[in-house]
Structures are given as structure tokens and as C-alpha cells.
Structure 1
Amino acid sequence: MRKILVLLSMSVVWCAVSAQNTFVLSGKITDEKNKELPGAAIVVSPGEKGVVSDARGNYRIDGITEGKYQVRVSFIGYRELTDSVQVSSNSTFNCKLKFVPLNLQEVVVTDNYAETRKKEETLNVEVVNDDFLRQNAGGSLMKSLERLPGVSTIDIGSGHSKPVIRGLGFNRVVVVENGVKHEGQQWGADHGLEIDQYSVDNVEVIKGPASLMFGSDAVGGVIDIKQNHLPVDHSINGEVNLVGKTNNNLLGTSVEVAGRKDWFFARLQATVLDYGDYKVPADSVDIYSYRVPLYKNHLRNTAGYERNWHLSFGIVKPRFQSRFFVSNISSKSGFFANAHGLEPRNVDTELHDKSNRDILYPFQQVDHFKVVNKNWWKYGKTSFTADLGFQRNFRQEKSYYTSHGYMPPVFPDTMSFAADLEREFDKYVYTGTLKASLEQNTQTTYTAGISSEYQENRIDGRGFIIPAFQQFTLGGFLVAKHSFSEKSLLQFGLRFDYGTIKTEAYYDWFSSPTENGSSYLQRAQDLDRSFSNVSWSAGYSYSPEHWLLKVNVGKSFRMPIAKELAANGVNYHHFSYEVGNPDLSAEVSYQLDGGVEYHSQKLAVGITPFLNYFPNYIYLNPTSEHDRLYGNGNQVYIYQQSEVFRLGGELHAHYQLLKSLQVGIMGEYVYSEQLSGEKKGFTLPFSPPASAIVNLKYRKEKFLFFQHAYTSVDYRLTAAQNNIVPPEETTDAYQTVNLGMGGEVKIRQQNLKLSLQVQNLFNTRYFNHTSYYRLINLPESGRNFILNVSIPFSGEIK
């Protein structure tokens, strides 16, 4: 009955929408020399209505209702262009396609969409596309984004990275995929994000407090991942990606096929990656007081694989669309055998060193299934969006059974879990968001919405660190934007959030001696906490010719997570015994952001400073205690809160030395200080040091048999980090050099996109202060050649 009512409601809305007046959008597509471009693809969104230009470059799109639209124009051999147009009658939109103009950064999407997003958002935004990701491919999507100023990662191994924006990471940065917040086991350092970087069209990185639109956890910023490109009507297209990396002998491929006929479209993609143990420029590492030799510079048991698939399909109408995204990310990877559990002497080196591609104990298996439904429809000047999502994250960590403390020396055969199952997490997430946007006039827009999320995380296995929990959040928001002119924008927003978290009691599966004999000790108690808060944001953007000025002030908040409230176990990857604090309050953040940018035909420069204040920042505080009965002798860490002040910013500048030669510099700096608590006067753990990239990039429209050829050199300078929180160690400064080159090659009628990277060209031995492996003096990966070949194809559906 509920489904019937929903269908009837949609039918009524559709009939009402269809009764509106419609107009025609037409125009002409040419190049910079006014040469007509026949066969260019023109897509109008929302609505995703598209056509192809005729023999003279002309096009015509019927059935356009009144409102503001984005027009995306693409043509093989030219840079895609996206711009906005206001339709209130029959309208004309002409455009000239050109080849890579100078922009503020060569890393951003070089079209009008990036410039428009920067002007429409009072926070600082970076926009990158699939070309950038291909040319800067790392071991994961987050490593690929690390080249952006203000973005770094916390790493463990070659393929597990967590995003950090301006020194804030974990549950202070929200990752959004197709409008739905990505939820896995992101509280763990070794728990990488289950995102396939080959399925991404573009990424928007919002730096600063974004809780207003994205809810709790967006204190530090947002990584907004989108798969929004649709094929033109009556067409089929796709791409084959081939990738290889020398450091860990990675081989992989990703194949995509998409098509559209009239109002229906579908897209299918599959990705397969296999890699071996990765190499470091060292023949041994220090694990506390024990020296571990490395066989041929390989980290034992860091091999792995990924098996991913994605399916999207939906209905695309001028005033209504519904898209479905279904995906499954599956991976298996080993943990560095000598560091897991701090038992380097017990590792069977002969077994591990037989092959650098096998996956032995200890290892992890992760399977992330996701379904997202995005709906959009428009009535008059009001548009509505509804995003629904379901996710299941299933994760297992396995290792040989080893008795610690009072655990039995032989694993009993009466347990409900296997002896090798160290930990298991099974998380179910249900998400819903409804938004309405009203264009009161061409100057003022109101957006109101409500969002909700329910999580249930179950646990299993012989090890314990966090209890099973259920979490519910509900929030409502209102955002108003007013444009005084095309150059001046004021934005204000208000949001209310309410959330609850319930953790379940947990008892050891083995008995421990007590004063009255022995008993099963309780590690976690039943806990029921609720939180509520009001967030707000106000910002102003002014963009006169050649300049962009913006300022934003806001308040954000974050609920404590289950680990912070109720942890009580060993974190093998942090080499610590962690204890939660059930009395933690919700974290609050106040931040002031600014930005000044200037761009001309040859010069682009900008600075984006920020100030940040936390009255009650939550952090993991190291104590002087060591737990030898249940924690394998690891140091005890307890979650606490303190008053924290932060400041910093990013600098970027680019200058066109010659027609084809560009030089640039990008830098970032973050300063943090605790103003209260036991660590008053200290910084925050894992604070990134100051760093800068000096870049030289040469572009040539045609070089030998390459079209749109480029060569790029990055010289990265990273300062020493002496401002630490014990037991962290100081980290020396270092410099690395990365090379990049590529272009397009045409073989008969087939285009190929080639990109080659050489990361850490001189095989420099250095330490990354934000890597968890820094604790055991493990250097970063050595020299790595990365080759990516993309083979696009297209056809017509009769």
C-alpha cells in the first residue's frame, strides 16, 4: 500500500510539473578560432537533457522550463566546459572550447564549473576531475588527493589511507559518495576507505566546518565524490583503464560501459587490482628495541587485492530524474607481519619470504556493499531532492591464536567463533535526506532539508576493542543565499542536530582470577547517551574582475563515537591499549576562514588562512601506565578532552613563464596548541608538518605523436616536525622529487590516454610524521613507476 501511495504521489507531481511552460535553449559550438565543431555533446542539468551539435556546430534543446541550469559541453580533443545559464524564455547559449587555460591551480578542473563553485561557496573549495586522479594516482583515492594543499593522509601500508584536512582526520572529515555519507569502520587507523578511485568522475574538497549541510563529523571538511556524468542521448560509451606499479608489482584494470536511450541510462564498471609486498629504501627496521631485517627491502605480508563492481541506472527527464547506484568493494590485504601484535621474534620469516605476493596471517578482509537512490524533481521555482542509502560494511581480521594474559594456552573448541578470528565488525547503515530549494528570484535562493541516519555495528572474534553499538542521528537545516550582483554573494545557514548512541555490555570469553576466585571480567558496560546542538555559518564572497575575496565564520559540532566512549582493548596498529571515556561531551568547533585570490592571463596567486577554536577537543592521551595482563605490555591511552586553538592556511601561486611552460608553488601550514588538560602547551597527536610543492609543468599541443602532451616535475619540501606529543618522536625534514608525463595518442581511429609517474625518483629514505608506521621507524615507500593507459570508446544507439 505504501509503494502505491508513493507512486500515486509521484504521478500527481509529474502531471503538475508537465503542465508548466517550456522554452528552447539553442546556440553554437566553436573553437577559439571560430571553427565550427560538429558532433559536440551538450548536456543540460538538472534534468540531464542532451543533444549533439549538427554539421555547422548548432544545437537545439526543447522542453526547458524556467530556472537556472548548468550546461556541459564536451568534444574530443578539447577541454570540457561547464557553465550556468538562466532560462526564463527562449534562450541562446554559445560557447568556444579551448585547450587548458591558466587557472588558479593546474590541479583543478580547468573549466567554468570550478570557478563557479569557488564563487558560490564561501568556504574554500578544490575541484578535481578524473584526469587529475589519473595523473596523480596513488595507492588509494585519498593518496591521489594528497597533492592538494591542505590535504594529507594518515597511512598504514601502501593501500590504506585516511583523509586529513588541515590536520583534522578520522571522524572529523566526512566522505560523501553520490550524496550519501560513506560509513565504514573509519575510526580505525588501518581501516581504509572502501572507495574505488577508478569509478570517480570528480571530487570536491571543502576545507573548513561544513556541518551545516553535511551534519555531525564535518568539523574539518568534506570529501564529496561524484559520479554525475551521463552519456548523451542515443549513445553508448566507455573506457578501459590499465594500470601497473613497480614498487609493489601492482597490475590492474578497470572497465566501464555506459549507454542511454531516450529517458533511460545504465552504467556498469568492474575493477580488479592485484599487488605484492611493497618495498622501502631500508634493509631493516626498528620495532622498539628489536631490529628486524627485511628480505630484499620488502615489508612481509603487505600484499593484497581488490575486486570491485559498480552498477548505475535510472530515469532522466527534463523535470524529474531518479538514479540508482549499486556497488560492492571487496578487498583482502595482509598486515606487516613483524609489527602486528609486537611479536617480531615469532614471525616465520622463511615462510613469508618464499613469495612477495601471497597473503598469510595476519590479514584483513573487507566487503562493502552500497545502494544509493538519488531523486530530483522540479515544480515551478522549487526543486526537490531525495537521497536514500543503505550500506553494509563487513570486516574480519584474522591471525594465529596466541595466548595473552589469562587466555587459555589452547583455544577451546566450544566457542562460537573460529580460533583465527581476531576481530569481526558487521555494520549496517540506513541514510535518508530530503531537500527543497526555492529560487525566490534570480538573486535569492532558500534551501531547507532534513537528514537522518541509523547505524548498527555488531562485533565478534576473540579480541575486543569496541563494543557493539546502535547510533541514530537526525538533523534539520535552512540555508539562504543572496546575490547582490553577479560578483557579490552572501550566505547564511542554521542547523539543529540530535543524536543517540547505545553501546552494549561485553564480557571476556575467558575467566580471570579475582578476589573471590575467578570470573568473566566486564570490558564494556551498557551505555545510552544522547546529544543535541545548534550549528550555524555565515559567509560572504566577492569576485570583481581578476579577484576573488571570501570570508566565512561558523560553528560545528561532532558526537563522540563508540570507540571514544567505550574502547577497552589493544590497537595493534597504534601499538597501544586504548580506554574510552563514557563522560565525554559533544565536540564543538568555531572557525574563521578567509581567502584572497588573484588571477590574470599569466599569473594566479591565492592565500586561504583559517583560525579554529575547540572548547572541548577529544583526543587520545598517552599515560605512564602499561597493561601487561590484557594489553600485551602496550602503553595505556585514555580518551580525554581539552581546550585547543589552531591556525594555519594554504598558499598557491602559478606563473606562465612561456606559452607552454608554467611554474607554481603550493604550501600549507597548521599550528595546534592544547590550552588545558594534562598536555597543556603541547600540540595535537599526528600534527602534519609544514610542507610545500614547487612545480614545473610543460604543455605542448602536439609533440611527436602525442596530442595534449605534458611533462611535470614536483619538488616537495617537508619541514621537520619537532612539535610533538609524547610518546611521539620528532621527524626530520625531507625532500622528494616526483615526475609525471603523458598525453593522447591516436592509433588509427582509436584514442589512447597515457600517463606515467615516477614517485620518489631518487629512492629517498624518509619518515612521514602522520603515518602510524612512524612509531616503529618504518620509512615510506621507495621509488615507484606508475603507468596508466586509458582507452575510451563510443558509439551510437540507432
Structure 2
Amino acid sequence: MKSMRHRVPSPHLLASALALALAAPTVLAQNAASQATDLKAVVVTASPLKGSAESVATPVEVLYGDELDRNKAATLGDTVAKLPGVQTTYFGTGVGRPIIRGQEGPRVQVLSGGLGSMDASTVSADHAVSIEPFLADQIEVLKGPATLLFGSGAIGGAVNVVDGRLPDQLPDTPLSGRAEVSGNSVNNERTGMFRLDGVNGNWVLHVDGMIRNTDDYDIPGYAIVEHDDHDEEEEDHEEEEQVKGKLPNSSIRTRAGAIGATWLGEAGYFGIAASTYRNNYGIPGGAHEHAEDDHDHDDDDGDEAHEEEGDVRIDLVQNRIDMKAGIYEPLSFLQSINLRAAHNDYEHVELEGGTPSTRFTNKGYEARLEAVQKEWNGWRGAFGVQLGSTDFGAVGEEAFVPSTTTDTLGVFVLQEKDFGALKLELGGRYDRVELDPADRGSRDFSASNLSAAAIWRISDGFDLRFGVDRSERAPTNEELFAGGVHVATQSIEIGDQDLSTEKGLRGEIGLHWHTDRVDMKFAVYQTNFDDFIYLADTGVAEEGFPVRLWTQADATFRGAEAEARIALADSSAGAWDLRVFGDYVRAELDGSGTRQVAFEVPHGDHTHAYQVDLAQGGYLPRIAPSRFGADLNWSLGGWRASLGAVRYNKQDDVADNEEPSPGYTLVDAHLAYRWDRPASSWEVFLDGRNLTDKEARPHTSLLRDYAPLPGRGVGFGIRAYF
């Protein structure tokens, strides 16, 4: 019988995350006008039906415009981390992958223009996403399963970056673009970017580029947390080695750019773009460096080895070609047929003291063909096929996953109909996934996905939203075939070749409320997983590393999130508005007691066999803590400013052998002035982050004991739009 522990979220914890977001609009609603305002239509390009963000029944957030400019960061995860229900992993300033409602890695698909990034970021926590947020036009975050659109890798959601390299329509002017030069005091950042779009008849020519250099970033205090179980000699040794106020080996060097050409005609369109992304970033001490100290060797040899290896850096290069084409009204019942394809060549080399140690590659393609039907009896829809193949390679000292070829094939259908007060969205998808490793037999998986969502418009400004999804995810190569030391997680990871597909059943209820003064969104959700795949701590240690086993068990994710934007005043003194938000998620295994598991650990040219008891219940590791925040915004003429804070509560709902994390509050401020010229606009800005210089260690980070977030920093720069 499954354990009933913690089946309902703790009321006081849920209240602390959501009270601020719910209380303010409730008070103001008594005096707010009942007439709903028209929200700006922001088109969600990830869907072939391309509805506005507000008209889509499935939960989605879109970052664009001034809000995107304020939140752009060096990583995609940091850029979207202030959206409700979204946080980020953290492995130094070079690595941050989005976490959506507590789910990350292979459950959250990261896309560029609707196709996968095809990098190696899901393989290890220290691998960066190969997409540059500074070059984005808008970023779309799809919460909950996006498996209908993107396959089993999106069972937890998807983040789609729209960069405009292959535009959908002709720009309004013959030549347009933007440029930015900026810096930051916390890491001596120097960043510059530009973008140009030119029109010649039906052709749109595009070019963009970006360069970023940073030094090691400032931190409050020391990087490494001192634990009570260290003896005095170890503490003295660590204190001597640490540098106060600076995180060593946290610098970044990034280069990115693209060229593209698109022809947009009355009967169809065609476009092709070539892009490159190059990122050299340091891995802060604590993963590679501290793990090395755990090996058995005498002191002299250890000192010599450490001196020879030096700092660990990752040198990443991705070259990519994107293509899209389409035909309008090819048949009497079709509105269009659209093709999107990409070919990718990814490589990153882990350098120890400047010497190559491990090389990861991922080469392949992805293509998506979709047909959008004309409206029939009120139904709008699309259907299509998606296929891809990637050849992942890993060679070197830390190649704990074998080289693997992965082939995918999926077919899908989406349908929607507006009945007036009720809008209904339905969909289904079937995927076939084959993984063929170089050193053992292949595995095949089938994944079926069904979804239903609805909007019930109770009034012009108030609607309820419902969603039910049944989704499946095929295991990844690291979950199936891992077998060795994974230095980034400071452990030995052992895969399970007999894993089955992971199945999730999600239910969600939400509401949207819009008046002249208040825009509010609220949602509660629960996902029940059968055969949830997770990394379990076995309690066994080999060569100083804990052994962790990829295994399966039933699990439940449940949570809530809310956001409200409130117009406080609009007078000669300026326009004032308040944004408040909060989110909460709890994730735990459903079972109780223990179960016996047998496994083998590679050891040189032989293996060590173990049999252990794994806990059937308990919390899952590194789940994002609850939080709430507020931003007060002001604008007058060309001026705009904001002051905000986010409170991250302590996380003590932790897994076995996982330490709880203390809470912290981050305070930010922004100031900008924009002035218009006849053919251009200019903006100067100041961005202050972590203004109280708070020591913050995210619970979601594997490096939280070794690498805190950056301390107080002031960003500054100038933007031009023309």
C-alpha cells in the first residue's frame, strides 16, 4: 500500500508562497472596473496554430520586449528564472538550465525556433545549453507536458527561444536592427551585440553577432561552506586555500553569431541560416577539483597531480544550419504545409590545466513537417511528422556514458474549437525512440501522449482553465547506460538498461482574471508518475565516491503558482504598477519501506557486485524551494524604473542523504531612460542585482556548498534600436 505521508501541501508553506500574489488583487478588486482590458497579442510560435499567449489553453509564459531586456542573462535558465513556476539549475555563471515546476534535464526540452538545441546539456549538470539569450526576440515557456509538440523529452515542459533569424513576415522598413554594449561590476563583464535585418524585394537578409568576456565574479565571503564534521586540520587547510570575496575559475568567454536569408512570397516561403555558438567557461572548484581529492594516493603524488591538472574549463563549439520552407493553400482543405529542419555539429572539450581531458560530441539533424488545416465545422487543427537522429560521442577520462546513436520518429495531431463560452483543445502523439550504444545492445521505446485542455469564459474578464494530459518519456542514454565516475555530480553513476518508459498523468485547474487595473493568473496542478526515473543514493562508496543508481518508482509532483499585475496609479507623477508572484512545488516518491536492488560497479578491468535496500518513499532531491516576490515599477515619459525582491524559502523537504538549504532574499533594481530620434531610439540603463550582497546558495545547484550566487553587482550599458 502506498504511503499517505504529505499527500496535501503544508498550508502554511503554501500560504507563504502565494499570499502576497493573491491578497493584493483581492483588495484592489473591490474598486476595480469590471470591464476587461485587451491584452497585447503575443503570438506563441511554438504551436503550429500560432495563437496568442492568452488564447492558448495550455499554460504558457512569454518573455519579450522590455521585460526580456531586464532579465537577459548569460544563461537561458537565469533569463527565465523569475517567471512563476520556473527556476534554474546553477553550476557557476556559465551553466543554468531551466527548471519547470520542479522538473529539469531530460524532462524539459530546450528549443531554438521550435527544434531541439541538440547539445549535450542533459547529459551532465556542468554542460551548458548552447543557446544565447542575448540574441532572442522572445522566449516561450510551455509549462506542463509539451510532448504533443516536441516528443517525450518535453514531458515536464519546454523553453523555445525565438531569434528572428528566419522571419515569418517582411519587416516594416528596408533596414532595421538593434545593438547593445554593456558591462557589470560583479565580474567586470564586457558584452556587445548587434543585429541587422535588411529587405530587398521579397528577400529578408539577417546578420547578428555577440561577444561576452567576464572575469571571476565577486561573492560575499568565502566560496566553500565549512561543515561541522570537518576536523580542525581540514578546516585550516581549506581556509588557507580559499580566496575571500571572489569565486575562482568562474570567468566566461562567449562568441555567437549567425547569417540568414529568407524569401517570403504570396504562395510560400523559404529560408536558410547558419549560426555558431562558442563558449569557454570555468567550472568552480567543488566538482572536478574536490572530487579529485577523494582518490586514494599519497600526499606527494596528489599535490603533483593537482598542480598539473589545474583549473577545469569547458570549451564548447556548436555550428548549426537551420532551414524552413512552406507552401500556402497547397490543397483545398489545407491552409499551409510547413517544413522546419536543422543540422547540428556540437563539441565540447573539458580542459584540465589547459590540457584536453574529455571530449563530448553530438552530431545530427531534426526535421518537422506539419500541415495546418483550414477551419472545418469550427475546428482548427494541424497534423504532422517529426524525425531526428543524433550521434553522441564521449571519449576521455570522464566519459561515464558510452557513445550512443539515438533515432526518433513521431506523428502528431492537434485540434481546437471555440464554442463561444468554451474553447476546447485536443491532441495526440505517438513516438518511437531507438538508442543504439557502441558497446552493448540497443533499446527501443514507444511513447503515446494524449492531451485535453479547455478555457471556460465565465465573463469578459474572468475564465477558468482545465487541463488533463497522459504522457510518456523514453529513458535517455545516461539513465540506461551510465557506468563510471561522473565528476560533476561527485559520484559514480550506474545506469539500468532494463528501464521502461516513464508515464505521467497531469491534472491542472487555473484561472485568469483581467480588469482595467488587475491582470491575475493562478493555477494548481498535480502529476502522478508511474515508473519515474531518478538517481538514487545506494549508500555504497567506491574510490571515495558515493555510488548512485538510476532506478524507477512511482512519484507525485504537486504545486501551485500565482502572478498578479496591478495598476496602482497613472498621473502627472508617472505610471505605477505592482507585480507580485509566488510558486510552490513538492515532489516525493509514493511508496514506503525498502526494496532490494542488485547492481555492479566497474572497477578497472573487473566489477564489484552489490545488493542494497533502496527506500521506496521520501522526497526527491534538489527540488526548487517555494518563493514569493514583488516588483514595483514606475514610468514617466522616457524614464522607467523598478525595485523588486524575491524571497526563496528554506528547503527542508529533502531526500535521503541530502542536506536542507537555508532561505535567502535577493533584491534587484533597474533604471533606464529612452529617447527617440527620427530614425532610431536609444536607451541607457542601470541594473542592480543582489543589492544587499546576500550569500545565496540555490537548493537546485549541485555546487551549492562550493559556489554561491554572485554578490552585489551593477550592470550598465546603452541600447540602440533602428
Matched, 1:259 2:170: no
Contact 2:289 2:311 in 1 (8 A): no
Matched, 1:237 2:167: no
CA distance in 1, matches of 2:92, 2:623: 19
Please show how residues 714-753 of structure 1 align to structure 2 within 5 Å.
Answer: 714-746=644-676, 750-753=680-683
CA distance in 1, matches of 2:223, 2:375: 66
Counterpart of 2:255 (choices 288, 299, 307) is 307
Matched, 1:163 2:98: yes
Contact 2:426 2:452 in 1 (8 A): yes
SS of the equivalent of 1:297 reads coil
CA distance in 1, matches of 2:71, 2:716: 11
Contact 1:140 1:161 in 2 (8 A): yes
1:528 aligns to what? Answer: 442
CA distance in 1, matches of 2:697, 2:210: 31
- The Cα shift of 1:287 comes to 7.1
Which moved further from structure 2: 606-615 or 121-130? 121-130
1:323 aligns to what? Answer: 271
CA distance in 2, matches of 1:200, 1:182: 14
CA distance in 2, matches of 1:557, 1:640: 16
Counterpart of 1:498 (choices 429, 432, 438) is 432
- The Cα shift of 1:472 comes to 0.6
Contact 1:334 1:360 in 2 (8 A): no
Matched, 1:783 2:715: no
Structure 1 runs not aligned, ≥5 long = 1-101, 353-358, 401-418, 506-525, 794-798
1:394 aligns to what? Answer: 347
Counterpart of 1:366 (choices 316, 320, 324) is 316
2:689 aligns to what? Answer: 759
Please show how residues 652-663 of structure 1 align to structure 2 within 5 Å.
Answer: 652-659=563-570, 660-663=575-578
Please show how residues 403-418 of structure 1 align to structure 2 within 5 Å.
Answer: none
Distance 1:623 1:374, change over 3 A: same
- The Cα shift of 1:308 comes to 0.9
Query: Structure 1-normalised TM-score?
Result: 0.76
Distance 1:752 1:687, change over 3 A: same
CA distance in 2, matches of 1:432, 1:283: 48
1:249 aligns to what? Answer: 188
- The Cα shift of 1:155 comes to 0.6
C-alpha distance after superposition, 1:706-725 (max 9, x if no partner): x1x21111111111111101
2:453 aligns to what? Answer: 539
CA distance in 2, matches of 1:777, 1:350: 18
- The Cα shift of 1:193 comes to 0.6
- The Cα shift of 1:585 comes to 0.6
Contact 1:493 1:538 in 2 (8 A): yes
Contact 2:269 2:326 in 1 (8 A): yes
- The Cα shift of 1:750 comes to 4.8
- The Cα shift of 1:351 comes to 9.6
CA distance in 1, matches of 2:176, 2:192: 17
CA distance in 1, matches of 2:463, 2:671: 31
| 2:277 aligned partner, one-letter code | I
- The Cα shift of 1:366 comes to 0.5
- The Cα shift of 1:300 comes to 1.5
CA distance in 2, matches of 1:351, 1:636: 27
Which moved further from structure 2: 227-236 or 493-502? 227-236
Counterpart of 1:278 (choices 217, 221, 235) is 217
Counterpart of 1:220 (choices 156, 169, 178) is 156
CA distance in 1, matches of 2:257, 2:480: 35
1:467 aligns to what? Answer: 402
1:375 aligns to what? Answer: 325
Contact 1:119 1:541 in 2 (8 A): no
Contact 1:376 1:386 in 2 (8 A): yes
C-alpha distance after superposition, 1:619-656 (max 9, x if no partner): 1101111111xxxx111111011100111121112222
SS of the equivalent of 1:658 reads strand
Matched, 1:617 2:532: yes
Distance 1:347 1:261, change over 3 A: farther
Distance 1:349 1:470, change over 3 A: closer
Distance 1:754 1:556, change over 3 A: farther
| 1:566 aligned partner, one-letter code | F
1:574 aligns to what? Answer: 489
Please show how residues 39-50 of structure 1 align to structure 2 within 5 Å.
Answer: none
SS of the equivalent of 1:585 reads coil
Counterpart of 1:447 (choices 382, 399, 404) is 382
Counterpart of 2:476 (choices 561, 565, 574) is 561
2:561 aligns to what? Answer: 650
C-alpha distance after superposition, 1:527-549 (max 9, x if no partner): 31101122100111133300132
1:591 aligns to what? Answer: 506
| 2:194 aligned partner, one-letter code | V
2:463 aligns to what? Answer: 548
CA distance in 2, matches of 1:455, 1:287: 43
2:417 aligns to what? Answer: 482
C-alpha distance after superposition, 1:81-136 (max 9, x if no partner): xxxxxxxxxxxxxxxxxxxxx9x9x9x99446479523442211111114322112
Structure 2 runs not aligned, ≥5 long = 1-32, 45-49, 294-298, 596-613
Which structure is higher in RCO with an 8 Å CA cutoff and minimum separation 6? 2
SS of the equivalent of 2:549 reads strand
CA RMSD in angstroms comes to 2.7
Contact 1:258 1:266 in 2 (8 A): yes
Distance 1:216 1:602, change over 3 A: same
CA distance in 1, matches of 2:92, 2:454: 42
- The Cα shift of 1:777 comes to 5.0
C-alpha distance after superposition, 1:761-786 (max 9, x if no partner): 01011221001112x25422111112
Which moved further from structure 2: 464-473 or 779-788? 779-788
Contact 1:264 1:316 in 2 (8 A): yes
SS of the equivalent of 1:171 reads helix
- The Cα shift of 1:165 comes to 0.2
- The Cα shift of 1:296 comes to 4.3
SS of the equivalent of 2:419 reads strand
1:422 aligns to what? Answer: 357
C-alpha distance after superposition, 1:533-575 (max 9, x if no partner): 2210011113330013211101111111111111112222211
CA distance in 2, matches of 1:112, 1:381: 27
C-alpha distance after superposition, 1:290-333 (max 9, x if no partner): 44343242121221201111112111112311122221101111
Which moved further from structure 2: 359-368 or 543-552? 359-368
SS of the equivalent of 1:680 reads strand
C-alpha distance after superposition, 1:678-733 (max 9, x if no partner): 33331111101100112211121x2xxxx1x2111111111111110132210112
Contact 2:202 2:264 in 1 (8 A): yes
| 2:342 aligned partner, one-letter code | G
CA distance in 2, matches of 1:347, 1:733: 37
CA distance in 2, matches of 1:562, 1:188: 12
Counterpart of 1:670 (choices 580, 585, 593) is 585
- The Cα shift of 1:348 comes to 9.8
Distance 1:139 1:679, change over 3 A: farther
Sequence identity of aligned pairs in percent?
22
CA distance in 2, matches of 1:231, 1:141: 28
Query: Structure 2-normalised TM-score?
Result: 0.83
C-alpha distance after superposition, 1:435-479 (max 9, x if no partner): 111123472113111111111112222333100001111111111
Moved over 4 A (4+): 108-116, 343-352, 746-750
Matched, 1:683 2:619: yes
Contact 1:124 1:208 in 2 (8 A): yes
